[in-house]
Amino acid sequence: MKRYRIEELVQVLQDAGIRPGDLVSVHSSLFMLGRLQGHPVREAPRLIAETLIDYLGPEGTLAVPAFNFGFCRGEPFDRQHTPSDRVGQLSEYVRQLPQSIRSPHPMQSIAVVGRLAEEICANDTPASFDPGSAFDQLINHDAWLLLLGVDIQWASVAHYAEQKAEVPYRYWKSFTSTYIDNGHAEERTYTMFVRDLGDGERPRPKLDFAIIGEGLKEAGLLHETKLGSGVVNVCKYRDLVDVAMDKITADPYCLVENEADVRPHHGG
């Protein structure tokens, strides 16, 4: 497993065009980057979070996914205390920072620190990719997407494009459970544009966002570089959504790996 230095991460930010004062949303797998030279593995989330926050400065903003889908299963959601799930140690570290603000949606929330945190997390929308939602705010504020150790497949904002285009392999579903905010509990209902689970004849769609990455590269809108054992990909949120919308408009099933099995077949 290769090692990397914190100075190399800063250089990646600079080379990609990220500057102090910017808004950056990070999806990460620190394990894929290898070992942070000179530090125990357990210290990596803290050191990388501190590096990103210090680099962006007091005018900058850092956002991370804080997803947890327990609400879909009827579990209570506590906005301040329910942990993020399967989105990486860096995300959970940032979520727990005293100055961190979590957006309201109980399933696909983000945790934000910095100047724009309150504005980004202000609106409580029925679905996480609705107009005015935290993800919509990231796009409107021209956020950078920083993929540390992961590829474009981890770019959750692609679901924003799927919802906006109303792709045919998803449908609207409502979820109701207990919602807790600052100790106040009540029953709430939220929605999600979920993937079709399939049936005995049709399988569940398997998503593949590679075509979005290819489109970004062809347009010169994706900065990709090696760091440690892994790679770092950087682009603008708005550019990713625009490319995804173009691809989906041309073919609504373009993000589905097994589209031949999922796409409806009409008999002649």
pLDDT digits (tens, 9 = 90+) for 131-186: 999 999 999 999 999 999 999 999 999 999 999 999 999 999 999 999 999 999 99
Domain membership of residue 71 (yes or no) is yes
7 neighbors 43 (Cβ within 8 angstroms): no
pLDDT digits (tens, 9 = 90+) for 5-30: 999 999 999 999 999 999 999 999 99
- SS3 labels along 214-232: HHHHHCCCCEEEEECCEEE
pLDDT of 201 over the 80 cut: no
The model's pTM is: 0.94
Strands 3-4 and 110-114: unpaired
- Give the Cα separation of 47 and 116 in Å (integer): 22
Share of the chain above pLDDT 70, in %: 97
- Give the Cα separation of 113 and 101 in Å (integer): 6
Name the DSSP class of 84.
P
- Give the Cα separation of 50 and 47 in Å (integer): 5
pLDDT value of residue 199: 66
CB atoms within 10 A of CB 187: 9
Work out the pLDDT band at 244, boundaries 50, 70, 90: very high
pLDDT of 109 over the 70 cut: yes
pLDDT value of residue 1: 74
Give all strands of the β-sheet with 77-78 in edge-to-edge order: 77-78, 170-181, 184-195
Phi, psi of 258, rounded to the nearest 5 degrees: -100, 45
Q: How many domains does the chain have?
A: 1
Question: Which run of H or of E encompasses 8?
Answer: helix 6-16
Domain membership of residue 267 (yes or no) is no
Domain membership of residue 268 (yes or no) is no
pLDDT value of residue 265: 61
Query: What DSSP line would sit under 14-50, residue for residue?
Result: HHHT--TT-EEEEEE-HHHH-EETTS-GGGHHHHHHH
pLDDT value of residue 260: 79
pLDDT value of residue 268: 39
pLDDT of 242 over the 90 cut: yes
Give the range of the structural domain holding residue 99, as residue numbers without chain letter. 3-262
pLDDT value of residue 266: 47
104-129 average pLDDT score: 98
In 3D space, the residue among 65, 63, 56 whose CA is nearest the CA of residue 10 turns out to be: 56
Domain membership of residue 12 (yes or no) is yes
Average pLDDT over the chain reads 95
Domain membership of residue 57 (yes or no) is yes
Domain membership of residue 42 (yes or no) is yes
Task: Strands of the chain (E only): list them.
Answer: 3-4, 23-28, 35-36, 61-65, 77-78, 101-102, 110-114, 144-148, 170-181, 184-195, 223-227, 230-236
Which residues 6+ apart lie within 8 Å of 140 measured at CB? none
In 3D space, the residue among 110, 145, 144, 150 whose CA is nearest the CA of residue 29 turns out to be: 150
222 neighbors 211 (Cβ within 8 angstroms): no
